[in-house]
């Protein structure tokens, strides 16, 4: 049996990782693993990890490597991950990248590709400030760039229940960009040195980026 694919989407907050990961999930049958979503679920459930993460997330800082790696390890152990995974928002530090290498090695797996979505800081702020999500199916939207066909109604599931994230405000976005440049951007060199880095221009429209990504994923999982 072939080993399950492991793809990483790298990129700053608002680059489009979640949007593209959902599209890849549909196209390739892979499972999207978003540590941001897993952490928000832990906060909502009031678990110990969630309690520790809440204030850190609200401040736009990174949650501790220990908490995030534990959450990811548990999720990776679930049976659906045998379909192959797209990591969205993980790893975000070199410590996490090394922990991921070790976790994958335990099951004889390795990274097929780490794909860097390149966007400039100004685009991230515009993307984040217009972002909202369907509460029922998780589909992501944008006030300008991806508005639902019928105002306020989810294209995918018809729900009119939409939410905006508490950390998607101008002040927190500034700290998230600092965290990205200081702690996450070094991963580009980390994966380049391991010969798995791919980069794509993520300043274009959603469908063009999706087509570029699909070509890379096809090649990396062939």
Task: Supply the residues annotated as catalytic.
Answer: 17, 92, 131, 165, 176
Binding partner selected for residue 36 from Zn ion, ligand ADP, none, CB under the kind-specific 5 to 8 Å limit: ligand ADP
Nearest residue (CB) to ligand ADP, 3 versus 178: 178
Binding partner selected for residue 134 from ligand ADP, Zn ion, none, CB under the kind-specific 5 to 8 Å limit: Zn ion
The sign one gets for the Cα dihedral 177, 165, 31, 14 is negative
Q: Which of 71, 88, 95 lies closest to 20 in space, CA to CA?
A: 88
Q: Under DSSP, is residue 170 helix (H, G, I), strand (E, B) or coil?
A: helix
Binding partner selected for residue 212 from ligand ADP, Zn ion, none, CB under the kind-specific 5 to 8 Å limit: none
Nearest residue (CB) to ligand ADP, 2 versus 171: 171
Return the residues of window 124-183 that contact Zn ion according to CB under 5 A: 134, 136-137, 139, 154, 156-157, 159
> Which one-letter DSSP state was computed for residue 83?
G
Q: Which of 68, 90, 122 lies closest to 21 in space, CA to CA?
A: 90
Binding partner selected for residue 24 from ligand ADP, Zn ion, none, CB under the kind-specific 5 to 8 Å limit: none
> Which one-letter DSSP state was computed for residue 15?
S
* Closest CB to ligand ADP: residue number: 36
* Sheet hosting strand 85-88, strand order edge to edge: 31-34, 85-88, 6-10, 113-118, 197-201
The residues of the shown chain that bind ligand ADP, judged by CB under 6 A, are 11, 13-19, 35-36, 39, 56-57, 60, 62-63, 68, 89-90, 92, 96, 127, 130-131, 140-142, 145-146, 167, 176, 205-206, 209
Name the region of 30 (left: φ>0; alpha: ψ -120 to 50; beta: rest). beta
Residues that bind Zn ion (CB under 5 A): 134, 136-137, 139, 154, 156-157, 159
């Amino acid at each position: 049996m072939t080993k399950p694919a492991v793809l990483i989407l790298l990129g700053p907050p608002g680059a489009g990782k979640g949007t593209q990961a959902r599209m890849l999930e549909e196209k390739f049958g892979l499972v999207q693993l978003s540590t941001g979503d897993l952490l928000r679920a832990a906060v909502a459930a009031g678990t110990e990890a969630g309690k520790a993460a809440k204030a850190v997330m609200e401040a736009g800082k990174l949650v501790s490597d220990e908490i995030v790696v534990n959450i990811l390890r548990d999720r990776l152990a679930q049976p659906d991950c045998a379909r192959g995974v797209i990591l969205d928002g993980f790893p975000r530090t070199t410590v996490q990248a090394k922990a991921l290498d070790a976790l994958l090695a335990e099951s004889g797996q390795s990274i097929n590709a780490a794909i860097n979505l390149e966007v400039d800081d100004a685009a991230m702020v515009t993307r984040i400030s217009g972002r909202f999500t369907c509460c029922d199916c998780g589909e992501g939207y944008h006030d300008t760039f991806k508005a639902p066909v019928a105002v306020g109604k989810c294209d995918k599931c018809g729900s009119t229940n939409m939410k905006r994230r508490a950390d998607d405000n101008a002040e927190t976005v500034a700290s998230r960009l600092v965290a990205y440049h200081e702690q996450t951007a070094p991963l580009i060199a980390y994966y380049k040195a391991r010969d798995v880095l791919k980069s794509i221009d993520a300043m274009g429209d959603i469908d063009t980026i999706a087509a570029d990504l699909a070509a890379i994923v096809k090649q990396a999982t062939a």
